[in-house]
A and B are shown apart, each in its own frame.
Chain A
Amino acid sequence: NAGVMQNPRHLVRRRGQEARLRCSPMKGHSHVYWYRQLPEEGLKFMVYLQKENIIDESGMPKERFSAEFPKEGPSILRIQQVVRGDSAAYFCASSNYSNQPQHFGDGTRLSIL
């Protein structure tokens, strides 16, 4: 079991472009969480998804950010029209049930030029 896989590990975008971050949960896990870590800060919850459903998106910015977890394939965090403030590390975690510990991926470091 390879664990939670995130790609790419590093992503560079220019202002105004779109960024797509992918997360494949651990085998057998149907709960996916996205977190963002700004420099010098802890991880901040963004969104919680369970196959094809968004359960909690209370941490998602109101504009430009969206997430999905389709029936087949990885979960995608999409950021449209990126700005410099979107530069951060984005972590994905998965669990088999919402009350079970979350397992984290290596993260995607997003840099905006």
Chain B
Amino acid sequence: AQRVTQPEKLLSVFKGAPVELKCNYSYSGSPELFWYVQYSRQRLQLLLRHISRESIKGFTADLNKGETSFHLKKPFAQEEDSAMYYCALKGGSWGKLQFGAGTQVVVTP
């Protein structure tokens, strides 16, 4: 069975401090992993997908198949990073996504 686990419901960091959001998954095949972000009063939007291997808004995420993890990192958090972050997995050929429960990030000045 496929599963996505985000162990932290809430992450509070100071502006300028590093931030890491944990995401672990279980899936028997080769999954595709995503990070989605939802800013206050906005819709859910794609932040990163692992196959792109790019950095968006200073965030990076590396797929670690050995540890079945896809942690999201940013070296210096900004106040505008305060949002809800969801890790998601797509397994198989269909597009359906399996989401984690989400991590609320609060960046304080």
Q: Using A48-B94, A48-B96, A59-B96 as known contacts, say yes or no to A42 and B43 having CB atoms under 8 A apart.
A: no
At the interface, is chain B mostly helix, strand, loop or mixed? Answer: loop
A102 touches B95 (CB 8 A): yes
Is there a chain B Cβ closer than 8 Å to A31's Cβ? yes
Q: How far is the CA of A20 from the CA of B45 in the complex (A)?
A: 24
Is there a chain B Cβ closer than 8 Å to A105's Cβ? yes
B100 touches A42 (CB 8 A): yes
A45 touches B98 (CB 8 A): yes
Which chain A residues border B94 with CB–CB below 8 Å?
Answer: 48, 55-56, 98
Q: How far is the CA of A99 from the CA of B90 in the complex (A)?
A: 9
Q: How many residues of B contact A (CB 8 A)?
A: 20
Q: How far is the CA of A43 from the CA of B6 in the complex (A)?
A: 13
Is there a chain B Cβ closer than 8 Å to A104's Cβ? yes
Among the listed B44, B45, B98, B100, which residue makes an inter-chain contact with A91, where contact means beta carbons less than 8 Å apart? B44
Is there a chain B Cβ closer than 8 Å to A101's Cβ? yes
Shortest B102–chain A CB gap in Å is 5
> 9 new A-B pairs (CB below 8 Å) besides A42-B100, A58-B96, A104-B43?
A35-B99, A40-B101, A42-B99, A42-B101, A44-B99, A101-B34, A101-B49, A103-B45, A104-B44
Chain A residues at the B interface, C-beta cutoff of 8 Å: 3-4, 31, 33, 35, 40-45, 48, 55-56, 58-59, 91, 95, 98-107
